[in-house]
Amino acid sequence: MLRDKFFQRRKHKSSVVSPQDGAPIVQPPVNKWLVTATILLASLIAMIDVSIVNVAIPQIQTSLGASIDEIGSIITFYIISTVIVMPLNGYLNALWGRKQFYTAVIILFTVSSLLCGLAWSFPVLVFFRILQGLGGGALVPSAQAILLETFPKEEHGKAMGIFGLVLLLGPTIGPVLGGYLTETVGWRSIFFINVPIGIIAAVMAFLFIVNPPYLNKPQGKFDWPGLIALIIGLSSLQYALEIGQRLNWFESKLIIILLVVGVVAIAYLVRRELVTRFPIIDLSVFGNLTFVSGTLIGALIGFALFGILFILPLFMSQILRYDSFQMGMTLVPGTVAMAAMMPLAGLLADRLDPRIPMGIGIALCSSATWQFSHLTAQSGYWDLVWPQIWRGLGLGLVFVPVSSATLGSISNEKKASASGLYNLIHQLGGSIGIAGLTIMLQRLQAFHLSNLTVSAQQKAAVASSDILQQQATALTYSNLFSYSALIFLVSYLPLLFLRVRRRVS
């Protein structure tokens, strides 16, 4: 009943004005490649910042006198702030206008980057990182919406293929660039480097981004209870997912409290947004079956991407005794394969039913992940690289078509809202995946160690605890890779409900 009232209210909503004080908006013709260049430049600095800070943590800790428990907060609170702003993307775009909002978040990200580099204490740095996260969290969903609006529908795959390269390239070059800058110039330079690029991107956004005529400024009282519930719910859930491993998950009362508060707040938020007259989050997009199906696949992609990138380095470190350089060289081929596949996947999505490359990609990714379950302490470099390559090709075939099909099914006036929610669930899928795999890692390792110990005692075998521990760990990772492959196979279920409107030639 709530859903019916919600959709009825949406259909009869008429008290709206344009973002520019009711003046009619005429969308001027803008070269799509100038818009694309603007989007890619702004998105690149946001994505680089996801990982560039990681390598500078020891220097920041020494310079600002932060403790081991405190230092992780510069990453944790950045992620939390990005997550909070994502679902507000559609409302803020409509409230301030596309050009004004997108230019403003680039300026916010740029200024906060400058302030991070000038931070004189650790609490001040954390505060400026929160501001930076608010800017970065709004950049990516807005960029997706703008690109899909700029390119014709028959080129949505191409647009998402280009955008996907930036999403992948940023976090990949971040650690390399951050390590170089930290060692040669100092940790503050990893923030200062955003400033000139951000200024150029802001100027380009002001010149080339336009206010589409279908974005109408929302009227009525601002939904403060909804905003408060959003902040409490998402920040509680994301913080629990970020620190859960350190506090042994459900053995910690704090984690349990955070999860309960997060779930209750999100439940209240959903109910309120369905009944309030002026919601801040447009949940009507979940009435679109294609959007729901694609978003579920996006969450599973987040799990497959971030979850495996979490446990595979642990396997290489604990079982194969790889150092950081060896792990990096092993992971690079998979990233290169995924990057190489994205433009091709975009073309295939434009020319074929996008469910075809997605179906092939799910099979490739799942089978490659399953191959990891056969790794042993005697496995060589190529035993790790080939599954990585196939997995990268598979993820590339899934990521681009699902983005274009999911967001392409939404009307232009709701694309910004849909993109924010899609990216939020993708992010949460990765965080939940890492959390779930961490819990399974701990439980399975204890289970296998107990079984091996009992077996050794029954056979009166003489086995050192180190050998038993290594065997238990190897069995644990084998199980984790097998379970991960099976979980990603679940993507075929929502794929069945993905509806794609074929273009008539």
pLDDT tens digits for range 4-44: 444 444 444 333 333 344 433 334 456 788 888 898 888 88
Q: What's the pLDDT score for residue 9?
A: 43
Per-residue pLDDT band at 344 (split at 50, 70, 90): confident
Together in a domain, 91 and 203: yes
Domain for residue 298, yes or no?
yes
pLDDT at residue 14 in the model: 34
Structural domain harbouring 194: 28-212
Number of domains making up the chain: 3
Q: For residues 253 and 302, state if they share a domain.
A: no
Q: Are residues 132 and 255 in the same domain?
A: no
The number of beta carbons lying within 10 Å of the beta carbon of residue 428 is 19
Residue length of the chain = 505
In-domain check, residue 133: yes
- Is the predicted pLDDT of residue 473 greater than 50, yes or no? yes
Question: Which of 322-326, 379-383, 391-395, 481-485 has the least mean pLDDT?
Answer: 322-326
Q: How far is CA 489 from CA 306, 335, 435, in A?
A: 16, 21, 19
| Average pLDDT of span 405-431 | 83
Judge if 340 and 243 occupy the same domain. no
Q: Does 504 have pLDDT greater than 60? A: no
Distance CA 380, CA 382 (A): 6
pLDDT in tens, 256-301: 999 999 999 999 988 888 888 778 888 888 888 888 898 899 888 8
Q: How confident is the model at residue 298, as a pLDDT?
A: 87
208 and 61 within one domain: yes
In a domain, 68, yes or no: yes
pLDDT for the residue 107: 94
Same domain, 166 and 255: no
Say if residue 156 is in the same domain as residue 48: yes
3 lies in some domain = no
Distance of CA 16 to the CA centre of its chain: 32
Tell me the mean pLDDT in the region 173-183. Answer: 78
Question: Exposure of 8 by Cβ count < 10 A (0-12 exposed, 13-18 middle, 19+ buried)?
Answer: exposed
pTM of the model: 0.80
Given 279, 300, 316, the domain boundary residue is 279
- State the CATH number of the domain containing residue 328: 1.20.1250.20
Q: Please indicate, yes or no, if residue 229 is contained in any of the structural domains.
A: yes
With respect to residue 503, please indicate whether it lies within any of the assigned structural domains.
no
Per-residue pLDDT tens for 329-342? Answer: 787 888 888 888 88
Amino acid 8: pLDDT? 44
| Cβ count within 10 A of residue 23 | 9
User: Which region among 1-5, 210-214, 270-274 has the lowest average model confidence (pLDDT)?
Assistant: 1-5
Confidence of residue 155 (pLDDT cuts 50, 70, 90): confident
Mean pLDDT for 389-395 is 90
- What pLDDT score does 6 carry? 40
What tokens appear for 256 in the block?
């349990």
CB contact burial 215-246 (16+ within 10 A = b; e otherwise): bbebeeeebeebbebbbbbbbbbbbbbbbbbe
Q: Which residue has the higher pLDDT, 500 or 19?
A: 500
Share of the chain above pLDDT 90, in %: 13
Q: What is the pLDDT of residue 465?
A: 67
Residue 11 lies in a domain: no
Residue carrying the six token digits 């600095």: 45
pLDDT, averaged across the chain: 81
If asked whether residues 154 and 242 sit together in one domain, one would say no
Whether residue 98 is found in the same domain as residue 234 = no
The larger pLDDT score, comparing residue 67 to residue 270, is at: 270
Burial of residue 439 (number of CB atoms within 10 Å: 0-12, 13-18, 19+): middle
Q: How far apart are CA 365 and CA 362, in angstroms?
A: 5
Same domain, 147 and 207: yes
Q: With a cut of 70, say whether residue 124 has pLDDT above it.
A: yes
Beta-bridge partner residues of 17:
217
Residue 455 banded pLDDT, cuts 50, 70, 90: low
| 196 and 77 both lie in a single domain | yes
- Of 228-232, 374-378, 383-387, least confident by mean pLDDT is 374-378
User: Does 50 reside within a domain?
Assistant: yes
Which of 184, 212, 240 is the last residue before a domain boundary?
A: 212
State residue 27's pLDDT score: 44
Residues 253 and 390 occupy one common structural domain: no
Instruction: Specify which of 47-56, 80-89, 457-466 reaches the highest per-range mean pLDDT.
Output: 80-89
Q: What is the band of 457 on the pLDDT scale with cuts at 50, 70, 90? A: low
